[in-house]
Amino acid sequence: MTGDLDATDWAILSELQRDGRIPLTELGRRVSLSASATTERVKRLEAVGVITGYRAEVDLARTGFAVLAVVRLKYPGSRHGPLHRLLEERREILECLRTTGEDCYTLKVAATSMSHLEAIVDRLARFGGTTTNIVYSQTLTYRGPARPAPPGDDRDGERAAD
């Protein structure tokens, strides 16, 4: 599908990533389409799985989660079901990436206190060795992708000019 996305699709994605609650009429105005054409485009992007959902951004500190950590897990086994069940149970585990290299998983964990974080890490340690890094600050929040540069472009991931 990526090759099928045109400049207008990318403009729609950019606007929706900036504000997922934007009215379709305003979105259409910003991308120079009618409301009905914008609605069709958004529905198509949803139908093919490019747009997978809409979420609220929550301030962790204001909801009582003052500690943010990145936990890396070395998982020696091949049965990942028990770990996946823990991930479903523990909503403090915000993200989990299965990775290559020494560590098998990298997790983003929010906790209310250091003792709360310790309890979560202790549960994770049942599955293998862990390494925990406390996050001082988040210098870049998730922002979603931008239109990729065309092949042969030497800007290394900088956004291509439309």
> How does pLDDT run across 77-106, given as a tens digit for each residue?
788 999 999 999 999 999 999 999 999 999
Structure tokens at 132: 């925990």
Q: Using alpha carbons only, how large is the chain's radius of gyration in Å?
A: 20
Which of the residues in the chain have pLDDT under 70? Answer: 1-3, 154-162
pLDDT for residue 79:
86
Q: What is the pLDDT of residue 97?
A: 97
Give CA–CA dist 82/38, Å, rounded: 43
Q: Which residue has the tokens 């979105």?
A: 27
Domains of the chain: 2-47 (1.10.10.10), 61-134 (3.30.70.920)
Which tokens sit at 89?
Answer: 């149970």
The predicted pLDDT at position 3 comes to 67
Q: What is the DSSP letter of 66?
A: -
Predicted confidence at residue 154, as pLDDT, reads 64
pLDDT of res. 144: 87
